Amino acid sequence: MDGYCVHVYTRGPGGGPLDLREPGFTSCVTLAGYAVFEVTLWNTLKELVADWNETLGAMNDYLNKISRAKFMYNNFQLDRSEFYFSLLQLLRQFNDTIEGTMQDFSLLSDTARYTLSGVAENVKRHWSISIEPDLVAIESNSCKLEKELTDRASEFSERIPRKTREVESLRDGVSRIYSKPTVVLDVNDHALQRPVRS
């Protein structure tokens, strides 16, 4: 393989140079374009993961001590805050989006791998050229990409349910504070337009 493979530079998703060495990928002479495709997938995945982490970080802003009471009840009344339901719905959609994206990445990789096997057969049959070294390098790149996909999917499959449980526990905790007698008294106070007891 020494002397056969070369590093390829082109444009990345952000317009900067796309360096195949950054994820440890190797592009071979015959299938250089496919290796560039793989490293583009890698960089796109990195950008998505950064955005997903930022989204989860923003959700933490709703869960700080100052906003918890407001988050759970509008104006400290007994009706559930719409933010609570919105955040749970967002977490569900977020989880579905991440799972779907990971599946799409995996499908892309599998489809391209299947296509390459056909390309290799045609090249060998029509031009009597073996591109086996290229296929070995491409397979190595694919394994690295799949490992990254698996690691990131595993990370978010743990973080999102944990965040969902955290939000649900806030609801349960606040609900326990309001025992039945207290709720009845607060409802009466509200009906009589008296200040609700703190």
The pTM of the full predicted model, rounded to 2 decimals, is: 0.61
- Pick from 29, 38, 37, 35: nearest CA to 123: 29
| Tokens matching residue 55 | 């989204």
| pLDDT tens digits, 98-133 | 888 888 888 887 787 778 777 777 777 777 777 777
| Tokens matching residue 40 | 């583009």
In the three-class reduction of DSSP (H, G, I as helix; E, B as strand; rest coil), residue 7 is classed as coil
| pLDDT tens digits, 73-86 | 555 444 556 667 77
Sole residue written with tokens 């493979």: 5
The span from the CA of 82 to the CA of 21, in Å, is 47
Residue type, 89: Q
Residue 5, pLDDT > 50, answer no
Burial class (CB in 10 A: 0-12, 13-18, 19+), 23: middle
